[in-house]
Amino acid sequence: MTSNGDDLTHLGSDGAANMVDVGSKKDTVREAVAEGFVRTSADTLQAILAGNAKKGDVVSVARVAGIMAAKRTHELIPLCHPLLLTKVSVDIEPDQDLPGFRVEALARVTGQTGVEMEALTAASVACLTIYDMAKAIDKGIEIGPLRLLAKSGGKSGDWKRSAS
């Protein structure tokens, strides 16, 4: 775990949790990309790709669920600001090597605060939706890791996860 030495911004001097006041920050274009993984059995992956999940088109429903989740992040994460997102995309690709799916979510806003939580929420809910729609055929599905890949904009500037 790394730190740049800044204090935690959501804690007051008395230790109470507070929403950060972003009113004095400049509007900038901010973007974040997150990814998550869903590991299934090879048979489950093939069943999903063949359209044989009882609940319907797993990938399409998971994509829409992720987009909807990004738009509601402030309702789920207590100290997040409501944002007027300008772009949310969720890409879900099958990965035979897992086997399972790689989910990548992008969130973009022109505003006073970042969109990392929106990207992470989109990716996580898309992964959870895949789980929900396929659990009837595979009780052993695993989700993870979920992680931020990159963020840009704002006072702290750009950040990109180093290759590991």
pLDDT score of 16 more than 80: no
* Number of domains within the chain: 1
Establish if 104 belongs to a structural domain. Answer: yes
Q: Which CATH number covers residue 136?
A: 3.30.70.640
Catalytic residue among 6, 97, 132, 138: 132
The model carries a pTM of: 0.88
Q: What is the pLDDT of residue 15?
A: 67
Establish if 18 belongs to a structural domain. Answer: no
The residue segments making up the domain with residue 59 are 28-153
132 in active site: yes
pLDDT in tens, 84-129: 999 999 999 999 999 999 999 999 999 989 999 999 999 999 999 9
Helices and strands (H and E) in the chain: how many: 4, 5
Burial of 12 (0-12, 13-18, 19+ CB in 10 A): exposed
Q: What is the pLDDT of residue 7?
A: 60
> Confidence band (pLDDT; 50, 70, 90) for 8?
low
Q: What is the pLDDT of residue 1?
A: 44
Question: CA-to-CA distance for 160 and 145, rounded, in angstroms?
Answer: 17
Q: What is the pLDDT of residue 89?
A: 98
Mean of pLDDT over the chain: 91
Establish if 86 belongs to a structural domain. Answer: yes
Establish if 140 belongs to a structural domain. Answer: yes
